[in-house]
Structure 1
């Protein structure tokens, strides 16, 4: 990725997208190439976690 100000981050504390990394890293997911990708970061992470949990259950 190029300039950090062109990267998008999802802030899990405020639930807002930030352009450039402005907040503490412990509240950020990213970077993402687009605002839209950052907006859906938490949903995507939750979906993946659910899929992995289901896969773990099938393997038991």
Structure 2
């Protein structure tokens, strides 16, 4: 039996809080993550992804 979304961790980008289960509005929520620690590092992961995608786009347009 799979894990439900209520058992996953989320990062609230509006408040900066980590939440167990989808508590806040979806527009403010990043996730799901398997652990609280992963959710707490969501802003860093999002920044890394954005930098990688920008570099990939720049390389494609050369």
TM class by shorter-chain length?
0.7 to 0.9
Aligned to 2:43: 42
Q: Normalising by structure 2, what TM-score?
A: 0.84
Aligned to 2:54: 53
Question: Take 1:51 and 1:12, find their aligned partners in 2: how far apart are those partners?
Answer: 20
Q: Normalising by structure 1, what TM-score?
A: 0.86
Q: Which runs of 5+ in 2 are unaligned?
A: none
Question: Take 1:16 and 1:7, find their aligned partners in 2: how far apart are those partners?
Answer: 14
Q: After the TM superposition, which parts of structure 1 deviate over 6 Å for at least 4 consecutive aligned residues?
A: none
Q: Which runs of 5+ in 1 are unaligned?
A: none
